[in-house]
Amino acid sequence: MTTTTTAYSAEITAEISRLRDEVCRLHEQLTRWGLVTWTSGNVSARVPGADLLVIKPSGVSYDELTPAHMVVTDLAANLVEGDYAPSSDTEAHAYVYRHMPQVGGVVHTHSPYATAWAARCEPIPCAVTAMADEFGGEIPVGPFALIGSDAIGRGIVETLSGHRSPAVLMRQHGPFTIGATAKAAVKAAVMCEDVARTMHLARQLGPVEPLPQAAVDALYERYQNVYGQR
C-alpha cells in the first residue's frame, strides 16, 4: 500500500495525528488485559469533523505497532492515508460509524471467555451489579457473518440499536464493543471479558439468577449519571 496525499484542514490534520497516537496506545491495552493473541483484534476511532476513521493495519504484530502504522480510511472503508493495508474488519467498523453517529470508537477482540459465550451463541446474563452498571442488561448475541464485507457491521448495528449494552457477541466469532470514544470502547471490551469470565465461573457452581429489571435500571442510571467525577 502507498500513502495517498490528501489535503485536509489544519484542524483535521492535527486530529488525525492525535488519533494515530491514541489508537496506537489503546492497542497496548488489548494485550495488557489479555484480550487478543498474535495479530488478532483491532481498535478504531472516528475522526471528528470528517467522514474518516483511524484503524490498525492488517497483520502487524502488536509489539511492532507505532502511530505511523495506523491507517486512515473513509467511511466506505477505502484507504485514504497510510502505508499499510487496513484491518480486515475495517468494513465492519465503517458500517457502524455510518449508521451510529453517536459512536466514536469501535473495538474487536477474541478475548477467550467472551468468545466462548459467542461460540455457544448465548447471551451473557446480567446477574451481578458491575454488569448492570456497565451494560444495563445482558450482553446480546449478534448474527453470524463472514469477514470481508460490511455484514458484520450490519449485525452489530441491528443488534445494538435500541440496546443499552456497548458490547455484542457476534455469533461464533467474538465480541465487538462501541463507545463515544475509542477509549470508552476499549473499556467496554475489558469489562465484557471480565463479566464473561465471572458468569462462566458462577455457572460452574450452579444456576445463575439474573438481577431483577428494576434493580438493573437503578444501577445503570446511577453508574452512568452519578458515579465518578463530574
Which residues does the annotation mark as catalytic? 108, 110, 133, 173, 227
Alpha carbons within 13 A on the beta-carbon side of 176: 30
* Grid cell locating 108: 474487536
Strands laid side by side in the 52-55 sheet: 79-81, 71-74, 52-55, 42-47, 105-108, 174-179, 167-170, 141-142
